[in-house]
Amino acid sequence: MSKPSNLSRRRVLHVGLAAAAAPLAGCAGLGSGPSIGRVVVVGGGYGGATAARYLRLWGGNVDVTLVERNANFVSCPISNLVLGGHKQMSDITVSYGGLEAAGVKRIQGEVVAIDAHAKEMRLADGRKLPYDRAVISPGIDFMLDQVGGLAAPAAQERILHSWKAGPQTLALRRQLEAMPDGGVYALTIPKVPYRCPPGPYERACMVASYFKQFKPRSKVLVLDANPEIQSKKVLFEKAFADHYKGIVEYRPNNELKSVDAATNTAKLEFDDVRADVLNVVPPQRAADIARSAGLLNMNNRWVGVNWLTMESTAVPGIHVLGDATFSAPLMPKSGHMANQHAKVAAAAIIQLLKGEPVSATPVVINTCYSFVTARDVIHVASVHQYDAAEKTFKTVPGSGGVSAAANQVEGRNALSWAENIWADMLAT
Ligand SMILES: Cc1cc2nc3c(=O)[nH]c(=O)nc-3n(C[C@H](O)[C@H](O)[C@H](O)COP(=O)(O)OP(=O)(O)OC[C@H]3O[C@@H](n4cnc5c(N)ncnc54)[C@H](O)[C@@H]3O)c2cc1C
């Protein structure tokens, strides 16, 4: 985590003040001495931005290029507060100017192919980028074919996921604002594994907090394909009962089979639910570029990695981070964990480029905060240590745990966590 002094630094990086950071980019570039190698990073989210920055920070004068589709970083953590009306999009949007100032060459674009033999990436505009080592942290894409009717253009337009922060976050907020009091917001949750296990339950709380204040006759219906709440179960159950009785209804074992976009209806195994706002979080897999690069060697869905280096077990020379990986036991798909993957990878890549041995004993940590009201927060934490015999990360017995109860101190900690991790990824 970054030092407190970085917090004020990060404020300079907010989009509104991006211009203030921009001149620094012109002065940046590689430091003195010869480069030890070229690394191309795909995806400027939690994993990719951290990897790009730490490859620069940790030495060896690595030549780092980051390719990201979007102009700015937009955070999924805290995005549920935007849905609840407690934060704005500008609060979760950070400029990439700090990375450029740190010497990362940034390309706004899309990588459409990776040729692992030629060690070259191809961009949508036809440009080619050679690399010595590649890092991809592309996040997730959705398995739309698993939910009947969802892939149709009309469904895609009306039935939002908002499970990637950005335009859909704002669009869902607008649907909630337009919903009449007395309406039903239905949220469907896919079977695990999916991005951010506590995220849907936090979302239910945030939408309910909005309804409680502004549309008190409205309902939040949570249709969960899983048999029970997947993270911080007792604490979320308490939040639903203490704060949102009569507003939130939780239904386990309710797997979405198909949707009817014309009537905004979720079709379940035994039931049809018509909603005023239908928010479908579809089943997920590693993002498209991981699939087209031939990396999906775990259930044809996720990427297997060597946990000492984060290098793909399917295609040499490509290091894969974050949600796209096949998770180690009890390892969550979280922004915090993607940030940790990135540090393991950055250290290992520098050592590999220098011909040195990589660390044999990595340890990574995770904390996920969830807002249950605009101010009360709960957390779950864990420590994961590499186990040489089983070649995977395993949780350290007795480490981590969950909050005793929702509280406002953790509310402040959660906002500090976000400020700090954004600075850790994106400051100079
Ligand atoms: C509602 C919600 C709340 C959450 N809350 C928390 C929380 O409180 N704490 C927490 O730790 N985690 C939280 N998460 C989870 C967290 O957002 C993810 O685990 C994290 O973003 C994963 O990082 P990543 O680098 O794998 O992917 P991402 O952060 O999604 O980054 C992937 C990036 O790659 C880019 N990209 C993909 N393919 C290409 C390509 N071909 N070319 C160029 N660019 C490409 C995308 O544009 C994107 O910017 C939450 C998630 C959601 C949805």
Q: How far apart are CA 94 and CA 144, in angstroms?
A: 30
pLDDT digits (tens, 9 = 90+) for 166-224: 999 999 999 999 999 999 999 999 999 999 999 999 999 999 999 999 999 999 999 99
Report the 10 Å Cβ neighbour count for 255.
17
- Verify that 87 and 173 share a domain, yes or no: no
Q: Is 43 in the pocket of ligand 1 (CB under 6 A)?
A: yes
| 36 domain residue, yes or no | yes
Name residue 365's amino acid: I
| 13 domain residue, yes or no | yes
User: Which residue out of 1, 42, 46, 110 has the highest number of ligand 1 atoms within 8 Å of its CB and is therefore the one to mutate?
Assistant: 46
Mean pLDDT of the chain: 93
Average pLDDT estimate for 103-111: 97
| 391 domain residue, yes or no | no
Q: Is 333 in the pocket of ligand 1 (CB under 6 A)?
A: yes
- Verify that 166 and 273 share a domain, yes or no: yes
Is the pLDDT at 336 greater than 80? The verdict is: yes
- Verify that 102 and 132 share a domain, yes or no: yes
pLDDT of residue 59: 81
Q: Is 369 in the pocket of ligand 1 (CB under 6 A)?
A: yes
- Verify that 174 and 275 share a domain, yes or no: yes
Report the 10 Å Cβ neighbour count for 398.
7
Q: How far apart are CA 286 and CA 79, in angstroms?
A: 21
The DSSP result for 322-354, as a single string, is GGGB-PPTT----HHHHHHHHHHHHHHHHHHHH
Q: Which band of pLDDT confidence, cut at 50, 70 and 90, is reported for residue 18?
A: very low
Domain boundary among 253, 282, 311: 282
Q: Is 410 in the pocket of ligand 1 (CB under 6 A)?
A: no
pLDDT of residue 60: 78
| 305 domain residue, yes or no | yes
Is the pLDDT at 13 greater than 70? The verdict is: no
Is the pLDDT at 30 greater than 80? The verdict is: no
- Verify that 422 and 292 share a domain, yes or no: yes
User: Which residue out of 334, 410, 415, 419 has the highest number of ligand 1 atoms within 8 Å of its CB and is therefore the one to mutate?
Assistant: 334
pLDDT of residue 19: 26
Q: How far apart are CA 397 and CA 368, in angstroms?
A: 18
Q: Which residues pair with 306 in a beta bridge?
A: 311
CATH number of the domain where residue 216 is located: 3.50.50.60
pLDDT digits (tens, 9 = 90+) for 208-259: 999 999 999 999 999 999 999 999 999 999 999 999 999 999 999 999 999 9
Domain boundary among 251, 282, 313: 282
| 107 domain residue, yes or no | yes
- Length of the chain (residues): 428
- Verify that 24 and 113 share a domain, yes or no: yes
- Verify that 8 and 132 share a domain, yes or no: yes
| 195 domain residue, yes or no | yes
Into how many domains does the chain fold? 2
- CA-closest candidate to residue 310, choices 276, 277, 336, 348: 348
- Verify that 264 and 165 share a domain, yes or no: yes
End-to-end CA distance of the chain: 14
Owning domain of residue 276:
148-282
Q: Which band of pLDDT confidence, cut at 50, 70 and 90, is reported for residue 32?
A: low
| 408 domain residue, yes or no | no
Q: What is the longest distance spanned by two Cα atoms in the chain? A: 67
- Verify that 59 and 177 share a domain, yes or no: no
- Verify that 182 and 292 share a domain, yes or no: no
Q: Is 98 in the pocket of ligand 1 (CB under 6 A)?
A: no
Domain boundary among 282, 316, 334: 282
| 278 domain residue, yes or no | yes
Average pLDDT estimate for 298-320: 98
Average pLDDT estimate for 395-414: 96
- Verify that 12 and 129 share a domain, yes or no: yes
- Verify that 69 and 172 share a domain, yes or no: no
